[in-house]
Structure 1
Amino acid sequence: MITTPRRDMRPSCTGAPGYEETYDRQPEAVPTARHLVAQALDTWALPQLTEDAVLVVAELVTNAVKHATGARVTVAVERPAARTIRIVVTDASPTFPKLRHASPDDEGGRGLVLVGCMAHAWRAERYGRGKRVWAEMGLR
């Protein structure tokens, strides 16, 4: 079941709680996760980050949908500093994403390159039996 962001959530200006939702690991999770990120950035008055942030979360969730295991994927949007956000995608697969070098004819394989271009930093880390992949971006 895909959930939509709760309207009653009121993230703090910085730090926890941020926004977090868990979705079925299905393609429909991607647009719902983009909405979650856009809603958080609107609440935090950071519209300058929206275009890049929704692309980053779409790439990370798409990777989880295509390559992870388990029934669910969790997406969190945190604000560790006034001008910085962190997007976190958690899934049950212990396999880390691999940065590929796609050829011009490949239809895919560029997602993590895009994430690396838009984020100040990104990383995959063990989380329980699975992993979480996060990307930080912010205003300079």
Structure 2
Amino acid sequence: MSGHDNGPRSRSVLPFEAVPAAVGGLRRVARGQLEQWGLPALVEEVELAVSELAANVIKHVGSGVAATLVLEMSGDRLRIELHDKSFHVPVLNSAACDDECGRGLHLLAGMAVDWGTLLTATGKAVWCELSVDPELRRREVRRAEAALAEYRRDSVSQDPLTTCGTRIFEESATGLIADLLHWVAARGGDPDGLLDRAQMHFEAEARPEGMGEAA
């Protein structure tokens, strides 16, 4: 356990089936719980953390497995735990090529005051703690943005045919796009509009030189 001040605790426990369709519901429950606790300022970071933790369970433990989301407010920190039935503990290595680690842990390490994993009687829990203090939270957001930028640089700098392989490279790119869309949506942006504009830019840049719009 971390050494922060132990004050009154508020705790929410939500068992769920780890399938993609459940992730949106987890975000809604987390948002509602934070509103009840008077912590609306933490919603964006918590939704992102919950999404990443749940996605890692689905990808690395298995779709449809039983899992549990735990939110606990104590002192000046909010703790998020994702429990699953696997005893395999993830390791934070290179974000570019480590298909077993993935972008989720790098995001957690970048945005959280503290994070880690612990073994339980039935599996493990991956957890992170976010600060309630506004200044510390601003630092966490900057670290998360830096983690996303570093992940993007590492991903595009690798040769997919000689390192991770085309499949893993495409999964990394897809994961990065999903992260950015979550980031935009959490800040009130329009992810669908962003995708449309990106597609337009891609088509314009991919068009052979000298070819304009059809008359």
Distance in 2, matches of 1:87 and 1:34, equals 12
Residue 35 to residue 46, structure 1, CA distance change in 2 (3 Å): same
Q: How many residues align?
A: 124
Letter in 2 for 1:117: G
How far off its partner does 1:101 sit? 2.1
Matched, 1:77 2:71: yes
Q: Would the aligned equivalents of 2:16 and 2:66 in 1 still touch at CA under 8 Å? A: yes
Letter in 1 for 2:89: F
Query: Which structure exhibits the higher relative contact order, with contacts defined as CA atoms closer than 8 Å and separated by 6 or more residues?
Result: 1
Matched, 1:89 2:82: yes
Residue 62 to residue 120, structure 1, CA distance change in 2 (3 Å): same
Letter in 1 for 2:111: M
Matches of residues 3-22 of structure 1 in structure 2 within 5 Å? Answer: 14-16=8-10, 18-22=11-15
How far off its partner does 1:114 sit? 0.7
Distance in 1, matches of 2:50 and 2:65, equals 18
Runs of 4+ in 1 over 4 A off after TM superposition: none
Aligned-pair identity (%): 33
- TM score, norm. by length of structure 1: 0.79
Distance in 1, matches of 2:28 and 2:41, equals 15
Distance in 1, matches of 2:87 and 2:25, equals 24
- TM score, norm. by length of structure 2: 0.53
The CA RMSD measured in Å over matched residues stands at: 2.2
Residue 14 to residue 38, structure 1, CA distance change in 2 (3 Å): farther
How far off its partner does 1:109 sit? 2.3
**Stretches of structure 2 lacking an aligned partner (at least 5 in a row):** 1-6, 134-215
Structure richer in strand, relative to its length: 1
CA deviation profile, 1:70-104 (whole Å, cap 9, x unmatched):
721100111112x3211110000000123242339
- Find the structure with the greater CA-based Rg: 2
Residue 201 of structure 2: aligned partner: none
Matches of residues 115-130 of structure 1 in structure 2 within 5 Å? Answer: 115-130=108-123
**Stretches of structure 1 lacking an aligned partner (at least 5 in a row):** 1-12
